[in-house]
Structure 1
Amino acid sequence: MSDLLSKLYESSGLYAFFSEDGWKYVIMIIIALTLLFLAIFKKFEPYLLLPIGFAMLLVNIPGTNLFIKETIIENGEEINQYSGMFGYIYYGVSYGIYPSLIFLGIGATTDFGPLLARPKSMLLGAAAQIGIFVTFLGALLLNFTGAEAAAIGIIGGADGPTAILLSSELAPHLLAAISIAAYSYMALVPIIQPPLIKLFTSKKERQIEMTQLREVSKKERIIFPIIVALITIILIPSSAPLIGMLMLGNLIKESGVVPNLVHASGKTILYSVTILLGLSIGATTKATNFLQTQTLMIIGLGLFAFIVATIFGILGGKFMNLVSKEKINPIIGAAGVSAVPMAARVAMKEGKIANPNNYLLMHAMGPNVAGVIGSAIAAGLLLSFFG
């Protein structure tokens, strides 16, 4: 009887907590509970952080075997194989399916009208992407490989699906750290950006009121996704999964002929895939792999990337205000990071604080959606170089 009880105890998760790596599991469970707290009670990116946090909790209970990764050699090439419930779900990440479907849903819920009404706001979205390449260079200086540095740098785009796709292709062993960093900083936009806006703009600049945007025709809205897909994918074929799905989703929305597909892609598919994506990310955070010095470095570089992206967006807005005939409030440059629509809402709020008559939301949405396109293009470039 004692042997049976002993065997039962040794096969339990409780036994593993007292092993050499037991403290790592405890730390990861605490982190998982923290993510769940932030998602539920603070509403920080709840759609992603809730499934990520719960999957993290489950895989760090020893003995569950929900996510098993094995590396085999086939024809002289290393191939990763996954098993367990989360392991099978993870194939959607490893094959780049989930991020692309997320972009389909984003396209179906995005209004590119503000960008079409003021095309030069694309420059602000481009300026914010400088954070990606500055962080890429910083990661190289910290002895990350070129592929790893590219995957880390994309955090500066503040676009979770893009970060997941690029890291799954270039540095799958860093996927968990990069994904959690990307979504955490996206959730912290209302905390990170306001001090930077105040630091890099004067009160007079923040008070600038902008003229109303022109009305965009239906024809323009329909032509835009087709032209962007053609030009971008011809120039950068590796951007096809993200740009192609983003523009398809937007064309479905703007065509007006398939309302059921708009609902399916913008709601049903988007939210279903979001759960699978969150579970996949959380599943890769097993304590023995996640708790490493590299993870802390990635978290730090991610914050650096986001700060640099915001600063360059603001500086781009200041420069545009100087050279443009019409007045441009530099605050909208901060929305050039592609945290849609949160960054645009932060810009509107900061403009209202400086000038109660200021209404910057639609003006900020231009750079904001431009940032989505910009981060996807940047990911395509990096994938071309290091993929």
Structure 2
Amino acid sequence: MEILQGVWEVIKSILVNSGYAYFFTADGGYKNFIMLIVAFFFLWLGIKKGFEPLLMIPIAFGMLLANLPGANLAVQYHDLQGFIDLVAGRMTDTAGNTLTPGLMDFLYFGVKAGIYPPLIFLGIGAMTDFSSLIANPSSFILGAAAQLGIFVAYVIAIVLGFDPQQAGSIAIIGGADGPTAIFVTSKLAPAMLGTIAVAAYSYMALVPVIQPPIMKALTTKKERSVVMGTLRPVSKLEKILFPIMVTVIVSLLLPDAAVLVGMLMLGNLLKESGQTERIAKAAQNELMNIITILLGLSVGATTSAQSFLNLNTLKIVLLGLIAFAFGTAGGVLFGKLMYVITKGKINPLIGSAGVSAVPMAARVSQKVGQQENPSNFLLMHAMGPNVSGVIGSAVAAGILLTLLG
């Protein structure tokens, strides 16, 4: 009998100190349970629906790990000084207990120190062909116009009571560029990083759902049916000079954008130079894959129940949608203006591709255009504004960091 009593005491001790018991505590354990459900939902979106799976799945799994009670896998700091205090054993919880740094704390250092997003840009640059933009430089205008949503969302966020740094972090969602959103938020409002990253990648994944109604509402059937001419061939010299000149011009104008633009253009130069094929492939594949895992996992681990489940999260999600919608509208409206100026030679649909969701936004322009005119092929034309949007989002990030950082 004493043996059975002893076994029961051991079992009871294990259960009382388990994560399962924490779900039923009075200090908010149910919130962790809710966050696990949210993590399962995002895993479903990534695995079953294929919504940005390369980042959605690591972020969702990081969210899951962060909300397992007692696992010590949530990021416990939001700035570099906090990381120093955590490692030195000077950081304590609300009960006065000294916090011990965990795996995610060390992985997250790459986000907070601004390491992962630029390396992602390096890989993106190595995979990007800027020929469409070089062949049609007016695409720069459409890429710039699609950043309208960033500044509209910033103003609305200020009106809703967010401080300028928080408003800037929310607004950058409108650029539809996940690494840029993470980079800006880690500098301006790190406590909001998890929410903003999840919102940014969710809207990027929902481009085929969000954009078509806006595009159709702002254009006529005649405009959507416009067939654009063939783009001119681009020389190898142009492809080599482009990343060098963009780096110099943008970085001198906005030094805060230099790290993103510079890495983007370095990756592209490695691709186009013809002399660095081996490391260009490494940037496209091995480096990109490794950094994507580390970035997604560590960002997901910032979404603890305490920081994610609040009214501000709902506001951020709604403002992100507004930013994305206005960005799409800005590109389409400037496309309509170019349609008028060129006397019907520009299809306004390519303006929607000015958001930085490459190449999904360009594919949406192609799809909507072919619905009106099956012989219409807008993909290459839409890629110009699309890759311009990548540069535009980095420039917008530089502006926000210069003004608010």
Bin of the TM-score, shorter chain as denominator length: over 0.9
Code of the aligned partner of 1:6: K
Aligned-pair CA distance for 1:25: 1.1
User: After the TM superposition, which residues 59-74 of structure 1 pair with which residues of structure 2 at under 5 Å, given as runs?
Assistant: 59-70=66-77
Q: 1:199 to 1:80 in 2, by over 3 A?
A: farther
Aligned-pair CA distance for 1:81: 4.0
Deviations 1:128-151 (A, max 9, x none): 001101100110001101011001
Code of the aligned partner of 1:181: A
Code of the aligned partner of 1:9: L
Contact 2:79/2:112 (CA < 8 Å) preserved in 1?
Answer: no
Match of 1:19 among 18, 25, 33: 25
| In structure 2, distance between residues paired with 1:11 and 1:249 | 50
Aligned-pair CA distance for 1:30: 0.8
Unaligned runs of 5+ in 1: none
1:316 aligns with 2:334: yes
Equivalent in the alignment of 2:199: 181
Aligned-pair CA distance for 1:10: 2.4
1:366 aligns with 2:373: no
Instruction: Compute the TM-score of the two structures, normalised by the length of structure 2.
Output: 0.92
Contact 1:36/1:49 (CA < 8 Å) preserved in 2?
Answer: yes
Deviations 1:296-320 (A, max 9, x none): 1000000000000000110010001
Local SS of the residue matching 2:76: strand
Equivalent in the alignment of 1:116: 134
Q: 1:153 to 1:80 in 2, by over 3 A?
A: farther
Code of the aligned partner of 2:353: A
Match of 1:220 among 223, 227, 238: 238
Aligned-pair CA distance for 1:5: 3.4
Match of 2:352 among 334, 350, 373: 334
Equivalent in the alignment of 2:96: none
Equivalent in the alignment of 2:57: 50
Local SS of the residue matching 1:119: coil
Q: 1:230 to 1:326 in 2, by over 3 A?
A: farther
Code of the aligned partner of 2:118: S
1:190 aligns with 2:208: yes
Local SS of the residue matching 1:69: coil
1:272 aligns with 2:290: yes
Equivalent in the alignment of 2:39: 32
Code of the aligned partner of 2:232: R
Aligned positions, number:
385
1:10 aligns with 2:16: yes
User: After the TM superposition, which residues 371-386 of structure 1 pair with which residues of structure 2 at under 5 Å, given as runs?
Assistant: 371-386=389-404
Contact 2:80/2:112 (CA < 8 Å) preserved in 1?
Answer: no
Equivalent in the alignment of 2:93: none
| In structure 1, distance between residues paired with 2:366 and 2:257 | 31
Code of the aligned partner of 1:11: N
Contact 1:71/1:81 (CA < 8 Å) preserved in 2?
Answer: no
Contact 2:146/2:352 (CA < 8 Å) preserved in 1?
Answer: yes
Deviations 1:215-260 (A, max 9, x none): 0000000000000000100110000110010000000000010111
| In structure 2, distance between residues paired with 1:375 and 1:73 | 25
Aligned-pair CA distance for 1:271: 1.1
Contact 1:71/1:79 (CA < 8 Å) preserved in 2?
Answer: no
Unaligned runs of 5+ in 2: 1-5, 88-100
| In structure 2, distance between residues paired with 1:70 and 1:232 | 33
| In structure 1, distance between residues paired with 2:299 and 2:164 | 23
Aligned-pair CA distance for 1:354: 0.5
Q: Which has the larger radius of gyration?
A: 2
